[in-house]
Amino acid sequence: MDYLNLLAPAWTMGALLVFLTAPLGCLMLWRRMSFFADTLAHGTLLGVALAGLLALPFWVGVLAVSSLLVAVLWAFQDRRLPMDALLALSSSALLCSGLLLVNQLPALRPELIGYLFGDLLALNWSDLPILLIATIAGVGVLAWNWKFQLRLAIDNDMAASEGIHASGQRLVFMLVLALFTVLALKAVGTLLMGALLVIPALTARLWARSPRQMVGFAFLFAQLGIAGGLWGSVWLNIATGASIVLVMALVFGVLFLGQKVKATTRKSVA
């Protein structure tokens, strides 16, 4: 079997997706919003189910639910209600609603595993133009607002004193993240999107000495995870999304343990 031809479309589109995952994942860690990605990801299942019910393209339902969730969370900001608690409520409600609705649509049930864990190998070259345009748009919005996003991530109060509109920038960040959930649905499914964002950024944090370095390392580690996960899924005949996330987790574990062993060795020598 010609594995390279089989993997080429998936590998190309996964590599494109990393241009969004690296900066978004770093921003999520800096702003302590890792759980927000999981909430949006769980909402994509409801979007898929609604699109199936209304006979619409799946991306329309996913984008609609993601945008609605962003609007609701942005509108319901209240100091009395901790954001992590609101996200936990939204995440569980969206996931349960999606599963219940999918269960009522027999035509969607055989594809449920694909929606939950993704199947990047199911993509083909005809999907590339849309993914490319959407990725360029998302990266462009992030690049245009990067200075403001970074200032808010470092010190929210200082950014506010400099005239940066925190609420508006938070909305920008959440909308780009909503776009990412639409693009990542086929890659890793609804349950693993958060891992695709967080693990490379978390691994990069072990090595980086500056925000720029952290984004660069996150990009490299995410590319490694995509490539290793795709090849592993073909060779071992396992789910593509799960394979990608496991490779990323393995890289993090090896590097983290390596640093711990190195630090312990230095202390013992000293």
* 3 state DSSP class of 175: helix
Q: Write out pLDDT tens, residues 111-135.
A: 666 677 777 777 788 888 888 888 8
Query: In this predicted structure, what is the pLDDT of residue 1?
Result: 52
**Whether pLDDT at 3 is above 80:** no
* Residue 209 DSSP class: S
Q: How far is it, in rounded angstroms, from Cα 92 to Cα 115?
A: 17
Burial of 125 (0-12, 13-18, 19+ CB in 10 A): exposed
Q: How far is it, in rounded angstroms, from Cα 244 to Cα 42?
A: 19
The mean-pLDDT minimum among 25-29, 42-46, 106-110 falls in 106-110
Q: Write out pLDDT tens, residues 170-202.
A: 888 888 888 888 788 766 777 678 888 889 999
Query: In this predicted structure, what is the pLDDT of residue 166?
Result: 77
Helix axes 166-188, 193-205, angle to 10 degrees: 110
Compute the average pLDDT of residues 13-19: 89
What is the phi/psi pair of residue 55, to 5°? Answer: 60, 45
What is the phi/psi pair of residue 78, to 5°? Answer: -150, 130
- CA nearest neighbour of 176 among 28, 12, 13: 28
Q: What is the pTM of this model?
A: 0.84
Compute the average pLDDT of residues 49-60: 82
Query: In this predicted structure, what is the pLDDT of residue 110?
Result: 67
Domains of the chain with bracketed CATH? 3-269 (1.10.3470.10)
Strand partners, 121: none
Query: In this predicted structure, what is the pLDDT of residue 78?
Result: 63
Question: pLDDT class for 264, splitting at 50, 70, 90?
Answer: confident
Strand partners, 81: 78
